[in-house]
Amino acid sequence: MAVSLLAAPSVRAQEHEEAPEEAGEHGENAEPFGGHAVHAHYKNGAALFLGGTMESAEEQTFLTLGIEFERLLTDRWGIQVVGEHVHDFDAWVLIAPVGFRLAGNLWAMAGPGLESEARRTGLEPDPHDDEHSTDPHEEGGGPFFLWRFGFVYAIHLGESGRFALTPSLSLDLVREHGEWVKAWVFGVGLTVHF
């Protein structure tokens, strides 16, 4: 899963409250954060994601790498585009979640997406499993529709608010071959805001 979703106040530059002339400049756009007045400055973010995907149909966890772009729409709402590759499962995931800041640096997210047909290149074939082929060249039914639901927390690096580590946990509900399959996606993103 990806996801670094919006890292709420990390999408902002921080100014020290000690400077009275600066505090007045922020006016209604300022809010307290970690002893500083936070000025809405950064609206966009890009992230690299490193994590794992554990699908309920499989008994192992797959390395997941991703890239993300995020846009802060308001103080509490944002959107994101996430692209992930699930290694060894050899599936691509594209998601467009909406994020809502619950409190402080904690965001909830939900949104639709697509998952490509997995080729399961790193898996040993199960001789008793006729339903799921492990042949990477066999035609499948993908891409599959999915819903992602999750939480992201931002850990700010430095006072500028430009960089953040964003651990996340998400549940993907993937509609594969007429049934819903669950996949847990977890990991951490490194986000740069601009």
Give how far Cα 154 sits from Cα of 103, 104, 117, 129, Å. Answer: 11, 9, 32, 42
Burial of 28 (0-12, 13-18, 19+ CB in 10 A): exposed
Phi, psi of 24 (to 5 degrees): -70, -30
What's the pLDDT tens digit per position in 27-66?
444 443 333 333 357 899 999 999 999 988 788 899 999 9
User: Shortest CA distance to 153 belongs to which of 82, 99, 86, 96?
Assistant: 99
pLDDT for res 160? 84
Burial of 178 (0-12, 13-18, 19+ CB in 10 A): exposed
Q: Which residue has the tokens 């997995």?
A: 118
Mean predicted confidence (pLDDT) in 151-178: 92
What's the pLDDT tens digit per position in 4-23?
445 544 434 343 444 444 44
Q: Which of 7-21, 65-79, 123-137, 141-155 has the lowest mean pLDDT?
A: 7-21
Do 64 and 185 contact (CB within 8 A), yes or no?
yes
Q: How many residues does the chain have?
A: 194
Domains of the chain: 44-127+136-193 (2.40.160.20)
